């Protein structure tokens, strides 16, 4: 009687590849185990060992399907040989009907065992990486983090003052224009994130040039840049008791000028419109108030 023994490591794996190896062989009965080959204690293997009789043939796709441990392989082959059952290893092209199989079995079994150890090692490495990155693949999730050019801030300020165009800006950075605004947003967000970390802030008002601070606080300072906007943003957060976004405040500066923003900021406590909260009151006077004191 001809038996085919197949094994896959998990329930999800498909044994069809092994079935193809038996296409030209008349198989009377197939037995399949869906579990690791590190142990020889397998339900259908045990069943096969119990039902085979002298003269039967057992066909196996490869040595690794019978087992991945040299000692287990040797014991299994000896068991079947003592029962006068011949095992045929299709992939390796030899059987236990002769004397050379012991030598081949030892060599090829050792290779199968080494392969399993390498698989286990790779799996452990993958699990370790997955724990670090929190992803199934073990790769960092999403796009790789941005690294800004060392002179990004210098070129950024030139671009803000319209001394260079966006195309020239991107060429100086060595990036495509479509990536430029991603770098700009990253730069701005990084500044805002730092601003919101007490004790860790790198861009606080006190760290801005002292001359600029005096200009902001005491006189009309018509020009403005990121530091100016951030300085006001931090103080308006306290005064308005509500966050105002960088992008919105920057647009107000651009549309109405530093002089108007400075005047409304200084006189906000005396400027009230009935029915409006402090945030809406601030926006109203920036947009519609005509009176500006020097």
Backbone dihedral angles phi then psi of residue 112, each to the nearest 5 degrees = -65, -40
Dist CA 56 CA 27 (whole Å)? 11
Backbone dihedral angles phi then psi of residue 280, each to the nearest 5 degrees = -65, -35
- Within a 10 A sphere around the Cβ of 39, how many other Cβ atoms? 12
Dist CA 144 CA 142 (whole Å)? 7
Angstrom distances, CA of residue 70 to CA of 43, 76, 77, 105, 113? 20, 10, 11, 8, 7
Residues annotated catalytic, as ranges: 9
- Within a 10 A sphere around the Cβ of 230, how many other Cβ atoms? 23
Backbone dihedral angles phi then psi of residue 118, each to the nearest 5 degrees = -70, -40
Residue whose token pair is 């699990």 = 127
- Within a 10 A sphere around the Cβ of 181, how many other Cβ atoms? 11
HSE, side-chain direction, 13 A CA sphere, residue 81: 13
């Amino acid at each position: 009687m001809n038996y085919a023994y197949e094994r896959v490591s998990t329930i999800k794996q498909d044994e069809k590849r092994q079935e193809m190896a038996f296409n030209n062989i008349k198989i009377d009965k197939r037995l399949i185990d869906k579990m690791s080959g590190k142990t020889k204690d397998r339900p259908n293997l045990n069943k096969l060992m119990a039902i085979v009789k002298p003269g039967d043939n057992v066909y196996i796709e490869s040595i690794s399907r019978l087992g991945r441990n040299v000692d287990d392989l040797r014991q299994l082959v000896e068991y079947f040989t003592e029962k006068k059952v011949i095992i045929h290893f299709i992939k390796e092209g030899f059987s236990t009907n002769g004397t050379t199989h012991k030598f081949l079995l030892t060599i090829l079994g050792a290779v199968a065992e080494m392969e399993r150890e390498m698989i286990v090692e790779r799996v452990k490495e993958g699990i370790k990486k997955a724990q670090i990155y929190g992803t199934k693949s073990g790769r960092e999730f999403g796009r790789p983090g941005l690294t800004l050019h060392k002179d990004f801030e210098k070129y950024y300020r030139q671009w803000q003052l319209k001394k260079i165009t966006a195309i020239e800006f991107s060429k100086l950075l060595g990036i495509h224009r479509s990536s430029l605004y991603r770098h700009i947003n990253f730069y701005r967000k990084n500044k805002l994130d730092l601003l919101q970390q007490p004790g860790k802030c790198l861009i606080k008002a006190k760290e801005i040039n002292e001359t600029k601070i005096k200009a902001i606080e005491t006189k009309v300072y018509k020009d403005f840049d990121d530091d100016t906007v951030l300085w006001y943003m931090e103080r308006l957060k306290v005064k308005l008791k509500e966050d105002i976004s960088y992008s919105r405040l920057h647009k107000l500066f651009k549309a109405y000028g530093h002089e108007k923003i400075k005047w409304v900021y200084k006189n906000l406590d005396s400027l009230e419109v009935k029915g409006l909260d402090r945030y809406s009151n601030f926006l109203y006077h920036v947009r519609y108030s005509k009176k500006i004191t020097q």
